[in-house]
A and B are shown apart, each in its own frame.
Chain A
Amino acid sequence: METILKQLLDEFSVQQNKVVDNTLAKLMHNAKINALTKDIYSSKQQIIAIFQMYREKEEFKEAQLVIPNANAKKHYGYSFDLAQFSNIRIQKIKNLDKAGLTFDPETSSICGVPNIALTVDLHLVFINTLEENPTEDIKIIPFIVNADPKDLWLNRPSNQNDLYAKADSDKYAGAFLDKQIVIASQRGRSHAHEGSFRDDHFYMSALPEAWSVVAVADGAGSAKFSRQGSKIATEYLVKTFDNEVLLHELNDLCLAYYTPALAEAVPLSPKDDQPVSEATTNITDEPIEEVVKAEMTAEECSLKVKSSIINILYKSVRDVHAKLVEFAKQEDILLKDLNTTLIFALVKKFDFGYVILTFGVGDCPINVVIGDLEEVRLLNILDIGEFGGGTRFITMPEIFSHTDMPLRFAINRFDDFSKLILMTDGIYDAKFITENKLEDKGTWNTFLQDLGGQNEDGTKVDFVADEHIKDQLLTWLDFWSKGNHDDRTLAIIY
């Protein structure tokens, strides 16, 4: 009480002196003054309470309140944490309905499934619950609903009047030796978005001497006319093997390689040892040179046969390169404008099993699956860069002189196989992700089940009742995989 009286005297500029002190001493016990002082104190309390109430509202308004962005077509849930603002109650949120979301004031939470993408300022209408007659106030928070990425992709047809025009998708089903083959190739979303061409290509053919071949190529996205490069590479590769004499020789060599007892009967092609003059003279004609000794051990002999087989394959691959060089020259375009990868499998069923001759340049795998996934093998080496994006192309002359060239070829024999699969990186990046998963049975199991219909869209490729298999495979190729929108080509021999 004394403090209040003294403050009051100060306020009214009453100078302190003896008389004033005596007056104060008397009033200390005055009941009326005592009651009035209590009133003052209580009024002050009320004022400060009102002040605090309003301050909490202002603080809430100023607070950096971040609410996570939502995504169209995906469930959204968010609860406001009002621990710091215990008396604030959000009554409703204006504009939230624009996003298709609702707000529950009891739990201070937003939920629902936003239907469309938008950026909106949410108006949080709030009160302070301590107020007797609460007045509403508004806090504004920016809110973002991201589009469903699938809706952002356009599908523009490519211009079929353009140079080297190509269909946006392609499919094939038919016989392959005593098995079946299905191939589908689908333009990637990134190309569809721009209305540009599919750069992948495939080609297959039954050949003389009961051989069959399938080739798949992935034209480089950075190369202007890679759609034509991949077409030439696959078609011409197949053409190089459409040669009875050559395949007959290959028959003998395969027999010699796998049934060595007959090896002596097989003359090693003298042609392999003679340099062939071609336009591409900078490319070495003999990748694998074996010193021919007068007398060869069985091992040396086998090696010699092997190198003869590889030399035949090598010549075909080199001819494909020469064809691309010739085409670029003839069309007056740069060779690198045709940049494309290439994989192929040349297969024949012998008495002693299937012989699968393979080659690969680039990052597309060739896999064979034995039985019910008893074994799965990657038949080629992949060119994969250290920081991503480093691949090699059939159009690059340097691959022919590189020491790893012989490793690009492989000779394999299997009693039988359940599937022989060639794919472009549009499939492999999405479904296998890394090279080392290409021989992983678990990943393959998932992949085969995915083909069998165990996927988000329920699209199934039926290898048994297979009358619609090429359409099924093409539909399956449309699978959604975040970040993987490259062209997709998948060839399956089953």
Chain B
Amino acid sequence: MRRLPVYLLLDTSGSMTGEPIEAVKNGVQMMMHSLRQNPQAIETAFVSIITFDSEAKQIVPLTDLASFQMVDIKASGVTSLGAALALLADKLETEVTMTTLEQKGDWKPLIFVMTDGIPTDNWQQGYSKLKAVNKGLIVGCAAGQGADDAILRQITNSVVRLDSADSESISKFFQWVTASISTTSTKVEESGKEVTGLDQLPPPPSELVIVA
């Protein structure tokens, strides 16, 4: 069974306190609810959540949609994006299966990185570790005015921007992530082709501006 690994890297730094963090929690819940209705996604997509504030933590390991249970998240601390990228690199190595003679491996992972700030650690170090192992598509999302999409653009060619980190915009972002996972799970199942860029994902809603 070839899985479509989906990693959500979510910024849970102090600036996300209040409305944004609640919107993120809701967004993940709605996303899981919606994906569970999709027969292809429920069989193919596996989701993991990595949060980053003063440190990076994998709060949900790579889990199938049927077993997935959301863990409570709280906002505090700074923005250790580099640590999150490094942790992602570790998890890609241990959780994603490569194709061997014995088994067909997983599909290339789909990675969404959402941040509302500027990294406070050495993000380049985490990024170079990630670059060495990652074969999947990374989509960056700069949420709100405080986010620096210039750094995300150095990490990936696929970057979207949310002008505001309010609950409305964050909810739209998660709807788009949901549609992207649905589309990709259908696409890999039907054509065996993996997505390589933003142009192959569903068109984002007007709240999301493609910046790269």
Q: Are B189 and A486 touching (Cβ within 8 A)?
A: yes
Which of A64, A147, A222, A486 contacts B36, CB < 8 Å?
A147
**Interface size of B in residues (CB-CB distance below 8 Å):** 37
A436 to B104, CA, bound (A): 11
Q: How far is the CB of A188 from chain B (nearest CB, A)?
A: 8
Q: Are A387 and B190 touching (Cβ within 8 A)?
A: no
Q: Are A193 and B192 touching (Cβ within 8 A)?
A: no
A64 to B1, CA, bound (A): 32
Q: Are B36 and A146 touching (Cβ within 8 A)?
A: yes
| Chain A residues within 8 Å of B187, by CB | 222
When C-beta atoms are compared, the residue in chain B nearest to A152 turns out to be B39
| Chain B residues within 8 Å of A391, by CB | 192
Q: Which of A141-156 contact B (CB under 8 A)?
A: 144, 146-147, 149, 152-153
B206 at interface, CB cutoff 8 A: no
| Chain A residues within 8 Å of B2, by CB | 388, 483
A319 at interface, CB cutoff 8 A: no
Q: Are B186 and A190 touching (Cβ within 8 A)?
A: yes
Given contacts A221-B191, A483-B1, whether A68 and B104 have CB atoms under 8 Å apart is: no
Contact with B along A384-398 (1 / 0, CB 8 A): 011111010000000
Q: How far is the CB of A343 from chain B (nearest CB, A)?
A: 17
Q: Are A434 and B103 touching (Cβ within 8 A)?
A: yes
A69 at interface, CB cutoff 8 A: yes
* Most chain A beta carbons < 10 A, residue from B43, B186, B187, B192: B192
A180 at interface, CB cutoff 8 A: no
Q: Are A221 and B43 touching (Cβ within 8 A)?
A: no
Given contacts A68-B67, A71-B66, A433-B103, whether A190 and B190 have CB atoms under 8 Å apart is: yes
**Interface size of A in residues (CB-CB distance below 8 Å):** 38
Q: Which of B52-107 contact A (CB under 8 A)?
A: 65-69, 72, 98-99, 101-107
The interface residues of chain A, by DSSP majority, are classed as loop
A435 at interface, CB cutoff 8 A: yes
Q: Are B190 and A191 touching (Cβ within 8 A)?
A: yes
Q: Are B101 and A434 touching (Cβ within 8 A)?
A: yes
Q: Are A389 and B66 touching (Cβ within 8 A)?
A: no
B131 at interface, CB cutoff 8 A: no
Q: Which of A71-125 contact B (CB under 8 A)?
A: 71, 117, 119
Given contacts A222-B193, A388-B2, A486-B189, whether A152 and B99 have CB atoms under 8 Å apart is: no
Q: Are B39 and A153 touching (Cβ within 8 A)?
A: yes
Q: How far is the CB of A136 from chain B (nearest CB, A)?
A: 26
A146 to B42, CA, bound (A): 9
When C-beta atoms are compared, the residue in chain B nearest to A154 turns out to be B39
Q: How far is the CB of B184 from chain A (nearest CB, A)?
A: 12
Given contacts A153-B39, A190-B190, whether A435 and B105 have CB atoms under 8 Å apart is: no
Q: How far is the CB of B53 from chain A (nearest CB, A)?
A: 20
| Chain B residues within 8 Å of A482, by CB | 1, 43
Which of B39, B67, B105, B190 contacts A221, CB < 8 Å?
B190
A176 to B69, CA, bound (A): 55
A222 to B194, CA, bound (A): 10
A263 at interface, CB cutoff 8 A: no
Q: How far is the CB of A222 from chain B (nearest CB, A)?
A: 3
Contact with A along B1-34 (1 / 0, CB 8 A): 1100000000000000000000000000000010
Given contacts A69-B67, A147-B37, A193-B39, whether A220 and B191 have CB atoms under 8 Å apart is: yes
Q: Are A389 and B194 touching (Cβ within 8 A)?
A: yes
B51 at interface, CB cutoff 8 A: no
When C-beta atoms are compared, the residue in chain A nearest to B101 turns out to be A436
Q: Are A119 and B43 touching (Cβ within 8 A)?
A: no
A66 at interface, CB cutoff 8 A: yes
B175 at interface, CB cutoff 8 A: no
A485 at interface, CB cutoff 8 A: yes
Q: Are A64 and B189 touching (Cβ within 8 A)?
A: no
Q: Are B40 and A64 touching (Cβ within 8 A)?
A: no
Which of A69, A194, A436 contacts B102, CB < 8 Å?
A436
When C-beta atoms are compared, the residue in chain B nearest to A189 turns out to be B39
Which of A220, A388, A483 contacts B105, CB < 8 Å?
A388
Q: Are B44 and A483 touching (Cβ within 8 A)?
A: yes
Which of B37, B68, B108 contacts A387, CB < 8 Å?
B108
A64 to B107, CA, bound (A): 34
Q: How far is the CB of A1 from chain B (nearest CB, A)?
A: 49
Q: Are B108 and A149 touching (Cβ within 8 A)?
A: no
Q: Are A387 and B192 touching (Cβ within 8 A)?
A: no
When C-beta atoms are compared, the residue in chain B nearest to A485 turns out to be B189
Q: Are B42 and A152 touching (Cβ within 8 A)?
A: yes
Q: Give the 7 A-B residue pairs with the shortest CB-CB distance, closest first.
A: A221-B191, A222-B191, A152-B39, A389-B192, A221-B190, A146-B66, A483-B1
Given A71-B66, A389-B107, A389-B191, 5 other A-B contacts at CB below 8 A? A147-B36, A153-B39, A387-B105, A389-B188, A389-B193
Query: Can you pick out 6 interface pairs between chain A and chain B where the beta carbons lie within 8 Å of each other?
Result: A152-B42, A189-B39, A190-B40, A190-B186, A194-B186, A485-B40
